[in-house]
Amino acid sequence: MPFSGDLALMLQQLILTIPAILLAITFHEVAHGWTADKLGDPTARLAGRLTLNPLAHLDPIGALMLIVAKFGWAKPVPVNPYNLRHPLRDMVWVAAAGPTANFLLAALSLLAFRWSAALDLPFVTVPFRELCRWSYVINLNLAAFNLIPIPPLDGSQILKGFLPRAALHSYERFEPYGFIVLVLFLMSGVSGAVLGPLVGILSFGLRLLMAPLL
């Protein structure tokens, strides 16, 4: 009997997290592509990646990581920095657009969670509020994970925009090894020690900004 209860709980969680995950990764990638397009690079638009169809952005392993660990990744939108009007500076905006989209989705999820509490429709309100809760958690974790300055995460492109020229050249030589460092970062357990406080800071800042609306 306990197994049946645990299985039912896992299935319920899966049903509620999948829509939240698809929404999070879709808006994250579209935000990258849309920002690049506005700054002069149409690569994502021409590749059909400025779409809200989540299947166009889904990376199976990254989505599985979001389900299991609450952080993960999508299939990156193609961006050609040489098409941008100011490549180094504009890539900061392009990179920051993804985590920003997740931060805004987390804010909307928090508002929906709080405001839906007044609805007297238990069979609708309870699963909806649980979906909002998962959307809040997943979007904050996705934003935090992508802000880490390890290539190929968004944080690495953001960092490059602020580095002095000498440090930038050294960092660019490190970039080809970024994925190996990222795997070690995830497997070593250090990721939890970094992500936990970062998510906490984002959550605190978000609740502080939205306090008048909550």
**How does pLDDT run along the chain (214 residues), one tens digit per residue?**
444 556 666 777 777 788 888 899 999 999 999 999 999 999 999 999 999 988 888 888 877 777 776 666 778 899 999 999 999 999 999 999 999 999 999 999 999 998 887 777 777 788 888 889 999 999 999 999 999 999 989 999 999 999 998 898 888 888 888 889 988 888 888 878 888 999 999 999 999 988 888 7
Q: Are 50 and 44 in contact (CB under 8 A)?
A: yes
pTM over 0.95: no
Q: How high is the mean pLDDT of the chain?
A: 87
29 is catalytic: yes
Give the 3-state DSSP-derived string for 65-86, with helices as H, strands as E and coil as C.
HHHHHCCCCCCCCCCCHHHCCC
Coil, strand, or helix at residue 151?
coil
Q: Are 33 and 79 in contact (CB under 8 A)?
A: yes
Question: CA 155 to CA 95: how far, in whole Å?
Answer: 7
Q: Which of 29, 130, 172, 175 is catalytic?
A: 29
Q: Are 136 and 112 in contact (CB under 8 A)?
A: no
* pLDDT number for residue 193: 85
- In angstroms, the first-to-last Cα distance of the chain is 40
Q: Are 116 and 129 in contact (CB under 8 A)?
A: yes
* pLDDT number for residue 55: 83
* pLDDT number for residue 50: 93
* pLDDT number for residue 40: 95
Residue-range domain boundaries for the chain = 2-213
